[in-house]
Amino acid sequence: MDINSVAANYGNYKPSALKAEESKTSTTKGKEATTTTRSKQDTIEKSNYTTEQLNTINQIKSAEEQRVANFENMIKKMLGSQANLSNISMNSFKNIKVTPEEAANAKAAISEGGEYSVKAVADRIMDMAIALSGGDDSKLNELRAAVEKGFEEAKKAWGGELPGICGDTYTEIMNRFDKWEQYGVDAIK
């Protein structure tokens, strides 16, 4: 049995599932009670997995959860950089002096073709989403939720609001998820 078949069947393992259960209702001194009886061998569903395999499955699930958390954190940081560059390009920091050269560099970075343009940031986020999911359409809802959480975390870090370019990036990413869902992952590559 390879690890993929173990992971694919993980959802079928129910550690407290019962094969057989017998319920009896009895009345004692006017109070009704239900008793459930289970055979010893049926207390825990027998599985085809060894303890080692179950540990491996748990490690895989933990690693997947960590990858999603890293994805959310990457989105937060990338949006923070995009927001920061947007503010620098507009020289909107009150207590920080920005040179014309710094403002021009920031503007170039967020403009079309720049490293932090809407397209460039959306490309990086979607590339990571595809890599995390392996192109599996069943992961779309989880990926959308991770992107939404990343944007929410970035908003919190920026005092509740992000510059317009970040909103445009969010819209672009959600449009790509919609296209992926409708036409498949190849439609967004």
User: Smallest Cα–Cα separation from 88: which of 74, 99, 76, 75?
Assistant: 99
Query: SS3 breakdown of the chain: % helix, strand, coil, rounded to 5?
Result: 65, 5, 30
DSSP SS3 for 110: helix
Distances 1 to 5, 14, 53, 58, 72 between C-alpha atoms, Å: 7, 19, 10, 17, 33
Rounded Cα–Cα distance for residues 152 and 8 (Å): 31
Rounded Cα–Cα distance for residues 54 and 88 (Å): 51
Tokens of 18: 């019962």
Per-residue pLDDT tens listing for the chain (189 residues):
343 443 343 343 333 333 344 444 444 444 444 444 444 343 334 468 888 888 888 898 898 899 999 999 999 999 999 998 998 887 766 667 888 898 899 999 999 999 999 999 999 999 999 999 999 999 999 999 999 999 999 999 989 999 999 999 999 999 999 999 999 999 997
Rounded Cα–Cα distance for residues 158 and 165 (Å): 14
Task: Look at residue 92 in the predicted model and tell me its pLDDT.
Answer: 66
Task: Look at residue 47 in the predicted model and tell me its pLDDT.
Answer: 64
Rounded Cα–Cα distance for residues 157 and 151 (Å): 10
Against a cut of 0.85, is the pTM above it? Answer: no
